[in-house]
Amino acid sequence: MAEMLTGGHPNGLGRTGEVIDAVLADDSRLPELFACLRSTDATVRMRAGDALEKVCRERPGFLLPLADDVLGEMAAIDQPSVRWHTAQILDHLRAELTASQRTLALDFLKRTIEESSDWIVLATTAQVLGEWAGGDLELTRWLRPRLERMATDERKSVAKRAERTLAALSDGEQSCR
């Protein structure tokens, strides 16, 4: 599987679609795909993260047994393309996470939005945290000032995502009153 994720343009997905199809057809190949996150090749790690997210989006139950690995090993990878896919995977698994896994996931998401400077990581994490904040006043209070700061970001994609997420938070707060 690592060979399928190697080569081509570093920003392209190469044969990632074939890997996704292979895992969706046979979930016993999931550990092989997850192992690709350990590659020394950043392109392989990026494509593996993308494939894992797309598999999880299609069939969240496939990745649920690997939730601790996502929260541990995958979340520890300091590569923007892996971090935003980790945030997306955690969002797909949100309803099925245990209380302790949810705490670890929130710690990862909060740390990511505080520490990252990558526009896609920030935009994705803001969206995920906004979804998680629905009905959670404590998280909403924590998130709001960060989104307000992001809304002034010179990168339009970051600012717009922050503004949309703030608007959704406000709508959610209004419905709680």
DSSP assignment of 117-148 equals --HHHHHHHHHHHHHHHTT-HHHHHHHHHHHH
Average pLDDT on 21-31 reads: 96
The token pair that represents 23 in the structure block: 């895992």
State the Cα–Cα distance between residues 30 and 98, nearest whole angstrom: 21
CA 74 to chain centre: 10
Global pTM? 0.92
Residue 13 has pLDDT above 90, yes or no: no
* pLDDT value for 172: 55
- Amino acid identity, position 15: R
Average pLDDT on 98-123 reads: 97
pLDDT band at 127 (very low <50, low <70, confident <90, very high): very high
The end-to-end CA distance of the chain, in Å, is 51
pLDDT band at 170 (very low <50, low <70, confident <90, very high): confident
The token pair that represents 169 in the structure block: 């938070």
Average pLDDT on 80-106 reads: 97
Which residue do the tokens 């971090």 mark?
A: 83
DSSP assignment of 22-83 equals HHHH-GGGHHHHHHGGG-S-HHHHHHHHHHHHHHHHH-HHHHGGGHHHIIIIITT---HHHH
Which residue do the tokens 């009905």 mark?
A: 135
Residue 8 has pLDDT above 90, yes or no: no
Residue 175 has pLDDT above 80, yes or no: no
Angstrom CA distances, 164 to 36, 56, 72, stand at: 34, 25, 30
Angle separating helix axes 42-58 and 80-93, nearest 10 degrees: 20
Domain assignments of the chain as residue spans, ordered by start: 1-115, 117-177
State the Cα–Cα distance between residues 19 and 6, nearest whole angstrom: 12
